[in-house]
Chain A
Amino acid sequence: MILPELSRSITKNALVLGLFAVVTVGGVTLLQQFTAERIQASERAAQLRALNEILPRDSYDNQLFDSSVDVHDPLLGTRRPVPAYIASNGGKPSAVILPAIARDGYGGAIHLLVGILADGRIAGVRVVGHRETPGLGDKIELAKDRWILGFDGKSLENPMASGWAVKKDRGDFDQFAGATITPRAVVAAVHRALQYFDAHKNDLLEAKTHSVAPEQALPQLTEPGEATIHSRAGSAATRDDLQTTEPQPEQEGNRP
C-alpha cells in the first residue's frame, strides 16, 4: 500500500517534470519555427557557394538547384542516387556538376564535385568532404593548396588515359611530398567521372531535370562534422568503409 504522502509527492514531482518538458519543448519548437526559413537559406547559400566555385556565376543563367538529375553509377563511386546539376546558358546545356566519391582515400572516402563543360573539358574540381591527414593529404582542399586547380581544362584526351595518374605512377599529375595515396585516389576518381560523363553525355545534357531537396543537395559524409575536423583521420572506423577497387597501394607513402 502506498502512503498518501508518498503518492502526493510522486504526483507533484511528475507534474513538475511534465511541466518542464512542455515548457522546454515548446520553447525549442517556437525557435525552430522561427529559424527554419533562415536555416534553409543558409544551407542553400553555402551549397551554392560551393557550386559557384566550380562554375562561375556568369557562365550559366539557370537555377542550379532547380535543374538536377539523380545519378548513381559505380564509376562515380555513389551507392545511392545523388543529384548532379545541369547548368545551361540561353536554354542550352553548358555544363554538368557531377558528384564523385573516391573510396580509396587514405582516411576513407573523399567526396568530390566535378564540373564538366559540355565539350568534355573540366571546369573545376572541389573536395567537399574528406578525412585525409591534416598537413599532408588535406592539400586537396583549395583552402590549403592550389593543387586541385591542376584539373581545370583537362579532358579525356588531354592527357590521354596513361597520363591520368600521379607522377610517381608515370602520370601527368603532381603528388604531394609525403602523400601519394590521397592524390592518386582523387586523380582516379576525376578520371572515372570524366568517363562516366563521356558515356552518359546525352542522357545527362538532355535529361528532364527536377529541383532538389535541400538536405540531399550536396554529398555528405555520414557524420557531417567529421569532414573537416580530422579527429578520426585514419582510424579503424573509417577503414571499414574503404572499398578498394585497385590493388591496395603501399601505405608508407602517407605517414607523417
Chain B
Amino acid sequence: MSTPSYRELSINGLWKNNPALVQLLGLCPLLGVSNSAVNALGLGLATALVLACSNLCVSLVRGVVNTAVRLPAFVMIIAALTTCIELLMQAYTYELYQILGIFIPLITTNCVILGRADGFAAKHKPLVASFDGFIMGMGFALVLLVLGGLRELFGTGSLFANMHLLFGPIAADWQITVFSNYKGFLLAILPPGAFIVLGLLIALKNRIDQQLAERAKALQPEAPVQSRRVRVTGVIE
C-alpha cells in the first residue's frame, strides 16, 4: 500500500474524511460533553492524544501481531493508553476530570481509535501512522470544539467560560460574554441541542463541498491537463 503524503493525511483527517462529520464515529462523547467549549476541548485533546499514541504503538508492533489476534492486542494498547490519560488528567486537571467523568474511560470505546489503528496504523510506518492519528484526533477535537462553542454561545450567551479548569489560573478571565443580559436558550445545552447543532454542521460541510465541486466543474474545461492525472484506486479507508 502506498504511503499517503502528510498533506493528503491532513486534508483527510480535518475535512474529507473527518471522523465526526463524515465517518460519524465517536458520537457518544461528541454529543455527551459538547455542552461547553472547555469540556469539548478537554475531551477532544484527550482523544487526539490517545489516538496519536495508539496509532504509534500499533504501528510499532504491526510486524509482531498476527492478524488473528490483532484486535484484542490493539484494544489492550488503547485501553492502557486511555487509563494513562485518565490518571494524568486526574493528577493535573482534577476538576475537568470530574466534569468529564465517565467520558474519559469511554475514549477506549471510541470507534475512531480502533478504526484508525486497524485501518491505517497497522499498515503504515510509525511516523506516518502517528501523524494520521494526531490529525484525525485534531479533526475530531475541532468539531467537538465548534459544537461545544456553538452550544455554549446559544445556551448561555458567553464563550470559553471556566477555561482555567484546563489551562490553569492564566485562563480565568478568558470568558467572553457575547450577549450580555442573555436569558439563555435551554435547548442548546440539553442533549437534543447537540443533535441539532451537529446536523447543521454536517449540512454546512456538505454544502461547502457541493459548492467546491461546482466551482471545480466550472473550471475544468480550462485545465484539461490536470484531469488526466486523476486516479481512482477504489480502496476505501
Chain A interfacial positions (CB closer than 8 Å to B):
9, 12-13, 16-17, 20-21, 24-25, 27-28, 31-32, 35, 38-39, 42-43, 45-46, 133-136, 143, 223-231, 233, 256
Contacts and interface: CB of A to CB of B under 8 A. Distances in A.
Contacts of A25: 80
B88 A228 contact: no
Interface in B136-191: 155-156, 162, 184, 186, 189-191
B216 interface: no
Nearest to B65: A16
Contacts of B127: none
B95 interface: yes
B186 A230 contact: no
B68 interface: yes
A46 B94 contact: yes
B103 interface: yes
Contacts of A233: 190
Contacts of A9: 66, 68
8 pairs of A and B residues whose beta carbons are closest in the complex: A225-B101, A24-B80, A42-B94, A38-B91, A35-B91, A135-B186, A13-B69, A135-B184
A42 B91 contact: yes
Contacts of A45: 94
**Dominant secondary structure at the A interface:** helix
Contacts of B162: 143
Nearest to A221: B101
A35 B32 contact: no
B66 A20 contact: no
Interface of B: 32-33, 35, 61, 64-66, 68-69, 72-73, 76-77, 79-80, 83-84, 87-88, 90-92, 94-95, 98-103, 155-156, 162, 184, 186, 189-191
B87 A16 contact: no
Nearest to A38: B91
Contact of A16 (B73, B83, B88): B73
B90 A42 contact: yes
21 contacts: A9-B66, A9-B68, A16-B73, A20-B61, A21-B76, A24-B80, A27-B84, A28-B84, A28-B87, A31-B84, A31-B87, A35-B91, A42-B94, A43-B94, A133-B186, A135-B189, A136-B186, A224-B98, A226-B101, A230-B35, A230-B189
B74 to A, nearest CB: 9
B66 A225 contact: no
B84 to A, nearest CB: 5
Contact of A225 (B65, B103, B189): B103
Nearest to B83: A28
A136 B186 CA distance: 9
A135 B88 CA distance: 32
A28 B190 CA distance: 35
B101 A229 contact: yes
Point out which of A21, A228, A230 has the most chain B C-beta atoms below 10 A from its C-beta. A228
A226 B66 CA distance: 40
Contacts of A42: 90-92, 94
Given A134-B189, A135-B155, A228 B99 contact: yes
Contacts of B190: 134, 230, 233
B68 A39 contact: no
A136 B189 CA distance: 12
Contacts of A39: 87, 90-91, 94
B18 to A, nearest CB: 24
Nearest to B194: A231
Nearest to B100: A225
Point out which of B33, B88, B91, B189 has the most chain A C-beta atoms below 10 A from its C-beta. B91
B90 A35 contact: yes
B186 A13 contact: no
A17 to B, nearest CB: 5
B15 to A, nearest CB: 29
Contact of A20 (B73, B88, B156, B189): B73
A230 B189 CA distance: 9
A9 B90 CA distance: 41
B32 A231 contact: yes
A225 B73 contact: no
Given A24-B79, A38-B91, A223 B72 contact: no
B182 to A, nearest CB: 11
Nearest to B85: A31
